[in-house]
Amino acid sequence: MTASASELRLRAIPGLPEIRPGDDLARAVGAAADRAGIALREGVLVVCQKVVSKAEGRLVRLGEVAPSGRARVLARQLGKDPRQVELVLRESRRIVRCGHGVLITETRHGFVCANAGVDLSNAPTEDTAVLLPVDPDASARRLRDGLLAAGHGPLGVVVSDTFGRAWREGLLDLAIGCAGLDPLRDLRGRLDRRGRPLEVTRPATADQAAAAAGILMDKARGTPAVFVEGLRPEGDGSARELLRDPALDLFR
């Protein structure tokens, strides 16, 4: 994935309606872009996970969740709703860290994040939790295929979510799914400006696109889609490529 010029343009797509289970997300995004005069081609569309999850029906009413004993114990320790903790456990492979009111887990996808991505904010009702998509890469591909079928493109699609970071304060949007682009740009073997070969340089371009788009994704105003013009998508990889091999992870 490369920039076709010396500058990129980030364009928030306004007017996207409230997404409900079963809605055609590609049609909704395409129509909103058309109304705003945004041509979805020669760039990367970044869409926040929550609208994808809503369209796919990844919603759970807390009143229908029966907390396990383990969930109740953790909830007391953390000061959380035991029903939410139960959902976190169901969505997780393992608990990574627990303390200071925070539950960090590894999701079944392999993401390490707070609460396994189980979120209560901007849900359809106060007693509803929003879960991550079952397969965010497949979600990105369906969205891209729908946009291409409607005459948009060429373009890549990134599904993003907000993550905290070890050793640093603040939140950052990262890619959890992608289609129509390589999530990593491998520069190994190329020469730097002094002629020395690069040995480990692999920019996470899907994450970079998600982080840049996150600047315009105002959670309070409901801006779930941003188009990154000028970032020409190349290749066709999976966001799973961004997950470090456990055998090479020095922090496990």
For residue 169, count CB atoms less than 10 angstroms from its CB and return exposed for 0-12, middle for 13-18, buried for 19 or more. exposed
> What is the dihedral sign for C-alpha 114, 49, 219, 164?
positive
Percent of the chain with pLDDT over 70: 91
For residue 132, count CB atoms less than 10 angstroms from its CB and return exposed for 0-12, middle for 13-18, buried for 19 or more. buried
pLDDT at 71: 97
160-200 pLDDT tens trace? 999 998 899 999 999 999 999 999 876 545 655 666 655 55
For residues 69-77, give the mean pLDDT: 97
pLDDT at 195: 62
20-54 pLDDT tens trace? 999 999 999 999 999 999 999 999 999 999 999 99
Name the strand (E) or helix (H) holding 171. Answer: strand 168-179
Mean pLDDT for the chain overall: 91
Domains of the chain as residue ranges with CATH: 2-58+133-245 (3.30.1330.100), 60-129 (3.90.1660.10)
pLDDT at 191: 54
113-170 pLDDT tens trace? 999 999 988 888 889 999 999 999 999 999 999 999 999 999 999 999 999 988 999 9
Which stretches of the chain are DSSP H helices? 25-36, 49-55, 69-78, 82-90, 136-149, 205-214
191-231 pLDDT tens trace? 556 666 555 556 899 999 999 999 999 776 778 999 999 99
Under 8 Å between Cβ of 155 and 140: no
Residue that the structure tokens 């590894």 belong to: 106
| Residue 107 CA, distance from chain mean position | 13
